Amino acid sequence: MKRLLIASLILNLLAGIFVVKKMYQRYQERLEVNAKESQISYWLNRDEVFEKLPIDSNSIVFIGTSLTQHFELAEIFQNLKIKNRGITGDDLRGITHRLEPIIRSNPEKIFIEAGINDLALGHSVAQILNEYQLLIETLQKRLPKTKLYIQSILPTVIGSEYYKSHCNQAVNQKIVKLNAALQQFAAVQKITFINTYPAFALEGQLNPTFSADGLHINGTGYLLWAKILRTYLED
């Protein structure tokens, strides 16, 4: 009798653990869905804002991810011709799909920063190069007189607890390969490649001096980035 009671308690305990695990799994899945829905909503809202902004010909446009969005370019360079079109979480496909307002403005220059989110999504270097090719071909066809600049992808801090999908050894290794491939691609396309990576790297990852969370750049990092870009803005 006592053994049956113990066995029953164990089974009930195991059943309870199973139910709790299932509930937690569903909770995590719901969080992921909410995060994706929130990101899509944010992307659509910011893209809609860009659509409504006045067309300003001969501008200098920066397109990219959160690294670009948080870059106070116009203020740092004291140049109102600079238009920041970065969107947090954006990838190359998203950037390509929101080119129309940028194309209508007929900018003088376009600076591109993209690829880190594609890598975090698990895309291969070859896949990302294909996306880059589509983006550049579209811009060259529609804006033949616009100067194009591809910026290298910055490293991340390995093991950062905030952005595990971005901040790991595998992604950092792919960043090196992708930057090399982008440099070759830019040379073939006869556009400028800006290699920011060496200034920010320390032993194969992002120098923590330039970041608080392992992925995004702090004020010191942005001032360094601006120093690298100044020559290209003024040429």
Q: Phi first, then psi: what are they for 86, rounded to 5°?
A: -80, 150
pLDDT at 43: 44
> Degrees (nearest 5) of the Cα angle 145, 115, 210?
105
**Quick one: angle between helices 125-142 and 169-189, nearest 10?**
30
pLDDT at 235: 80
pLDDT at 48: 58
pLDDT at 32: 43
Output the pTM of the full model: 0.80
pLDDT at 12: 58
Please, are residues 93 and 47 in contact by the beta-carbon 8 Å criterion? Answer: no
Write the CATH number of the domain with boundaries 56-234: 3.40.50.1110
pLDDT at 195: 98
- Residues with Cβ within 8 Å of 109's Cβ and at least 6 positions away in sequence, in order, are 60, 61, 146, 147, 148, 149, 232, 233
* Tens-level pLDDT at each residue, the chain (235 residues): 556 556 565 655 555 555 445 454 554 444 343 344 444 455 455 555 556 566 566 899 999 999 999 999 999 999 989 999 999 999 999 999 999 999 999 999 999 999 999 999 999 999 999 999 999 999 999 999 999 999 999 999 999 888 999 999 999 999 999 999 999 999 999 999 999 999 999 999 999 999 989 999 999 999 999 999 999 998 8
